[in-house]
Amino acid sequence: MNKKTLDKVDLKGKRVFIRADFNVPVEENGQITDDGRIRATLPTINYALDNGAKVILASHLGEPKGKPDQKFCMATVAIRLSRLLNKEVRYAKDCIGPNVEQMVQEMHPGDVILLENLRFHPEEERNDEGFSRALAAFTDIFVNDAFGTAHRAHASTYGITKFVQVSVAGFLMKKEINYLQKAVADPLRPFVLILGGAKVSGKISVIENLSDKVDKIIVGGAMAFTFIKARGQEVGSSLVEQDLLETAQRIRKKVRDKGVKFYLPVDFVVAENMNDRAETKIVTSQEIPKGWIGLDIGPATTHLFTEAIQNAKTIIWNGPMGMFEKDAYCRGTFAIARSIADVYATTIVGGGDTAVAIHRAGVSDSITFISTGGGAALELLEGKELPGLSALTDDKE
């Protein structure tokens, strides 16, 4: 990574604005059910504090759609942060304006403030120049440690960098970029790419970009049905992207012509609908009944995929194998998670649903690296430039 990092700048006495990703799951009673993303940013926060900075933290939470929403307030995060840092984290009830500026003006080195949800302002996602200036008004050094939003050109990840002198990457951002870039640029082989989730459209560029670099591609989840339909098989009422059938066929042929092994499910758990109590059965990929929906990979597929990754030395996994959120359809995803955990390899899991599945399967401690960003990880694997990274100050040393 050719961007300046937090440890390359003098922080003493400076107002350090850290854009974090505290978009954690919060129950209706206000309890945070998984604080992994908060913990992941602690090394950056603690380093800034240890080096005498005045730390201003900012993040989004949920999807408040550009207006204040009590259930997405950052107060709960401030309480958890105080506990994790073992010090007071002052909570600002907005992220810009005179009250925030006053709070920052009163700060001493070692103090911490957490701003209110950035997305309570529609200007954040619009990358509004005025909003960017307002955030920069109380910032000496900008630190982007929110890899999960690095693929978005928002005011707090991109626009702000135009109005501060120094913009650097935090330690989590550096770790995320280095892991993903190294895995793709110089992988130990065999290198296996596992893709799942709902749609082919979100993963086409990943397959095309990595087809020259991987040894095997495994496709599960609902996106598999587009590939299966493309080769002329019926898939019942399973999710299919009709406009991508030719694309799927072309990609599959292109990949196989390059000598890359391409795996699709050979059986599925199917149901008449997505209801928890719907009747289910296991059928081969050629025998999905009309009107039925494939909601998980079957046992034969689980065995096939497990065998395919046994000799892997590098594995990247993004996207579950089925609707794992429901108990009736979680077995395939959890089985693959456990298989990946058991392989003696560098294992990298893309964020979002896949990270949740890894945690629910109880194998997160056995995975080499779990990314905090699903969309950002995918775009990096696609070879795209991430706005939140490109906007940072170049490291010319």
The enclosing domain of 346 has a CATH number of 3.40.50.1260
Catalytic residue among 36, 52, 62, 375: 375
pLDDT confidence of residue 384: 86
- Rounded alpha-carbon distances, angstroms, from residue 98 to 42, 95, 102, 105: 28, 10, 6, 10
Closest alpha carbon to 176 in 378, 377, 22: 377
Distance CA 115, CA 90 (A): 9
Two structure tokens written together for 134:
């307002």
Residue ending a domain, choose from 144, 172, 200: 172
Residue 126 shares a structural domain with residue 217: no
Residue ending a domain, choose from 149, 172, 195: 172
Say if 188 falls within a structural domain. Answer: yes
pLDDT per residue as tens digits for the range 325-381? 999 999 999 999 999 999 999 999 986 789 889 989 999 999 999 988 878 888 888
- Position 34 confidence tier, pLDDT thresholds 50, 70, 90: confident
Catalytic status, residue 37: yes
Phi, psi (deg, nearest 5) at residue 308: -65, -25
pTM above 0.85, yes or no: yes
Residue 186 shares a structural domain with residue 51: no
Catalytic residue among 3, 19, 37, 54: 37
Say if 363 falls within a structural domain. Answer: yes
Catalytic status, residue 375: yes
pLDDT per residue as tens digits for the range 222-269? 999 999 999 999 999 999 999 999 999 999 999 999 999 999 999 999
Say if 387 falls within a structural domain. Answer: no
Residue 138 shares a structural domain with residue 244: no
Residue 226 shares a structural domain with residue 349: yes
- Rounded alpha-carbon distances, angstroms, from residue 16 to 13, 49, 81, 110, 312: 9, 10, 17, 11, 42
Residue ending a domain, choose from 115, 145, 172: 172
Domain assignment of residue 223, given as a range? 179-381
pLDDT confidence of residue 137: 95
Residue 216 shares a structural domain with residue 261: yes
Say if 129 falls within a structural domain. Answer: yes
Residue 147 shares a structural domain with residue 188: no
Residue 147 shares a structural domain with residue 225: no
Distance CA 297, CA 299 (A): 7
Residue 195 shares a structural domain with residue 232: yes
Residue 219 shares a structural domain with residue 368: yes
CB 235 within 8 A of CB 225: yes
Catalytic residue among 39, 199, 213, 326: 199
Residue 209 shares a structural domain with residue 274: yes
Say if 261 falls within a structural domain. Answer: yes
Say if 394 falls within a structural domain. Answer: no
Burial grade of 66 (CB within 10 A; 0-12, 13-18, 19 or more)? middle
Residue 241 shares a structural domain with residue 108: no
Number of domains in the chain: 2
pLDDT per residue as tens digits for the range 136-174? 999 999 999 999 999 999 999 999 999 999 999 999 999
Phi, psi (deg, nearest 5) at residue 233: -95, 150
Say if 392 falls within a structural domain. Answer: no
Q: With the C-alpha atoms ordered 118, 121, 125, 131, is the resulting torsion angle positive or negative?
A: negative
**In three state form, how does the secondary structure of the chain look?**
CCECEHHHCCCCCCEEEEECCCCCCECCCCCECCCHHHHHHHHHHHHHHHCCCEEEEECCCCCCCCCCCHHHCCHHHHHHHHHHHCCCCEECCCCCCHHHHHHHHCCCCCCEEECCCHHHCHHHHCCCHHHHHHHHCCCCEEEECCHHHCCCCCCCCCHHHHHCCEEEECHHHHHHHHHHHHHHHCCCCCEEEEECCCCCCCCHHHHHHHCCCCCEEEECCCCHHHHHHHCCCCCCCCCCCHHHHHHHHHHHHHHHHCCCEEECCCEEEEECCCCCCCCEEEEECCCCCCCCEEEEECHHHHHHHHHHHCCCCEEEEECCCCCCCCHHHCHHHHHHHHHHHHCCCEEEECCCHHHHHHHHCCCHHHCCEECCCHHHHHHHHCCCCCHHHHCCCECCC
Say if 86 falls within a structural domain. Answer: yes
Residue 38 shares a structural domain with residue 99: yes
pLDDT confidence of residue 184: 84
Catalytic residue among 319, 351, 352, 374: 352
